[in-house]
């Protein structure tokens, strides 16, 4: 009888299998990122274009598709030169891509289009691409900022709107990367695009729109030191940047450390007023995120912060995905994406599809300018 009771009790026990994806660290579900798809979606020489650079990537607000954007540099790799604004679309999560479209053509041979940031207005279902012209003052002297807008999920785009009419002609290069729409504070609905200035007048600057992109103004900034003065190595030069909204409604801007001030690592700025100000007391250097001075990807998704860059203090090599379970205080986890030459990167997710993040980055075997490669990373497998 005792033996039967023991057997009966054992048979009624529920066997619980603990999977890594169900484990939690600090209340955040643990992830196990794995690359499940990679494809070069732009290669130097495609469509008789010399090189493709400056990757942008976003979801579309209505159909939850993916849009990739790039500078199609017509004749050379130079930042200052004639370009198309190229765009490609995937309607199946990155498994296939429609042929590229050129939605802007600067038509010049000097200092044309400079990307730029893409920002989605989820409330109205619109997409903005922000770009500049004459940002390097190469045989021109007035920098102008524009946006193009799509109201049909990225299939068509309106004529460029001149943003410099309201913010002035001081050089402003958005991103490169993604702008954000604030959703976790009293500033809900606000569009925020952050970027940088010229090298002399450099710094991290943010633009704000509280009317769904009809009007823009300057918000918070973190100026270089010395400001409006020729720079030398070691100066404080915040540069290309990526804003992220945190769960408490604050905005963190992960920023390129152009002058390697203090370290070969990232500068982090924080705003608690929707991007209006970035107090110096809240600025710090993330010694764990080393960099060779480059535009990097940053993303907050389901309680986890992600960061991509070529993880080196001296060369653009070793594209790596890092993730943090404590809002970026520590970065103890990483995944190698490509160990060889790699440059700018950006990231996005598709709302409602929590299991994946998507990366677009500059990739090559000899140089970083050989291709733009799309990567799908599954977070639980």
pLDDT tens digits, 275-323 = 999 999 999 999 999 999 999 999 999 999 999 999 999 999 999 999 9
Which segments of 63-176 are extended strands (E)? 66-73, 83-90, 101-105, 113-121, 126-133, 144-150, 161-162, 173-174
Q: Which of the following CATH numbers is that of domain 25-378: 1.10.8.870, 3.30.565.10, 2.120.10.10, 1.10.760.10?
A: 2.120.10.10
* CA 340/CA 369 separation, integer angstroms: 12
Which of 111, 235, 240, 362 is labelled catalytic? 362
Listed by start position, the domains of the chain span 25-378
- The 8-class DSSP code of residue 233 comes to T
pLDDT range class, residue 139, cuts 50, 70, 90: confident
Q: In Å, how far are 96, 216, 237, 289, 345 from 263, measured between CA atoms? A: 41, 34, 12, 10, 21
Please identify which of the residues 38, 79, 326, 378 carries the catalytic annotation.
Answer: 79
What would the mean pLDDT of 184-197 be, rounded to a whole number?
97
Confidence class of residue 21 from pLDDT cuts 50, 70 and 90? very low
Instruction: Check if 92 is active-site.
Output: no
Residues 23-27, mean pLDDT to the nearest whole number:
76
Q: Is 362 a catalytic residue?
A: yes
> 362 in the Ramachandran plot: left (φ > 0), alpha (ψ -120 to 50) or beta?
beta
pLDDT by residue (tens digit) across 362-371?
999 999 999 9
| Residue 24 binned pLDDT confidence (cut-offs 50, 70, 90) | confident
Residue pLDDT, tens place only, 36-66: 999 999 999 999 999 999 999 999 999 999 9
Give pLDDT tens digits for 145-172.
999 999 999 999 999 999 999 999 999 9
Active-site annotation holds for 227: no
The better pLDDT of the pair 348, 21 is held by 348
Question: Which segments of the chain does DSSP mark as H helices, in order?
Answer: 2-11, 164-167
Integer Cα distance of 193 and 35 in angstroms: 29
Answer yes or no: are the C-beta atoms of 211 and 162 closer than 8 Å: no
Give the SS3 label for residue 337: strand
CA angle 202, 307, 195 (to 5 degrees): 25
Q: Is 19 helix (H, G, I), strand (E, B) or coil?
A: coil
Per the structure block, which two tokens stand in for 194?
């952050």
pLDDT band at 22 (very low <50, low <70, confident <90, very high): low
Active-site position among 59, 187, 261, 344: 344
Model pLDDT for residues 171-183, shown as the tens digit of each residue: 999 999 999 999 9
CA dist., res. 236 & res. 259, Å (int): 6
* 196 vs 198: CA distance, rounded Å: 7
Q: Examine the pLDDT at 221 and tell me if it is beyond 90.
A: yes
- Report, as an integer, the average pLDDT of 328-338: 97
């Amino acid at each position: 009888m005792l033996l039967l009771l023991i057997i009966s009790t054992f048979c009624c026990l529920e066997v619980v299998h603990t999977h890594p994806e169900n484990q939690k660290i600090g209340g955040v579900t643990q992830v196990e990122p794995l690359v499940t798809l990679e494809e070069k979606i732009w290669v130097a020489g495609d469509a008789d274009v010399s090189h493709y650079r400056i990757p942008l990537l976003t979801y579309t607000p209505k159909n939850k598709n993916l849009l990739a954007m790039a500078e199609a540099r017509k004749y050379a790799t130079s930042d200052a030169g004639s370009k198309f604004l190229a765009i490609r679309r995937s309607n199946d999560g990155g498994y296939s891509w429609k042929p590229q479209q050129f939605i802007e053509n600067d038509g010049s041979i000097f200092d044309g289009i400079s990307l730029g940031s893409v920002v989605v207005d989820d409330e109205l279902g619109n997409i903005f691409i922000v770009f500049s012209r004459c940002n390097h003052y190469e045989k021109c002297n007035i920098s102008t900022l524009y946006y193009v807008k799509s109201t049909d999920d990225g299939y068509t785009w309106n004529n460029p709107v001149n943003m410099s009419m309201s913010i002035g002609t001081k050089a402003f290069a958005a991103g490169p990367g993604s702008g954000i729409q604030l959703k976790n504070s009293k500033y809900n609905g606000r569009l925020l695009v952050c970027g940088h200035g010229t090298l002399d007048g450099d710094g991290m600057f943010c633009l704000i729109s509280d009317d769904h992109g009809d009007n823009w103004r300057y918000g918070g900034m973190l100026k270089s030191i010395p400001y409006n003065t020729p720079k030398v190595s070691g100066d404080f030069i915040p540069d290309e940047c990526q804003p992220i909204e945190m769960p408490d409604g604050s905005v963190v801007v992960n920023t390129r450390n152009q002058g390697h001030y203090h370290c070969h690592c990232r500068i982090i700025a924080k705003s608690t007023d929707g991007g209006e100000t970035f107090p110096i007391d809240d600025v710090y250097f993330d010694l764990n995120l080393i960099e060779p001075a480059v535009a990097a990807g940053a993303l907050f998704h389901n309680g986890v912060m992600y960061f991509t860059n070529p993880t080196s203090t001296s060369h653009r090599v070793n594209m790596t995905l890092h993730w943090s379970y404590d809002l970026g205080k520590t970065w103890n986890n990483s995944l190698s994406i490509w160990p060889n030459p790699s440059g700018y990167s950006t990231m996005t997710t598709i709302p409602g599809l929590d299991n994946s993040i998507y990366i677009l980055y500059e990739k090559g075997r000899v140089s970083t300018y050989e291709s733009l490669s799309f990567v799908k990373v599954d977070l639980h497998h």
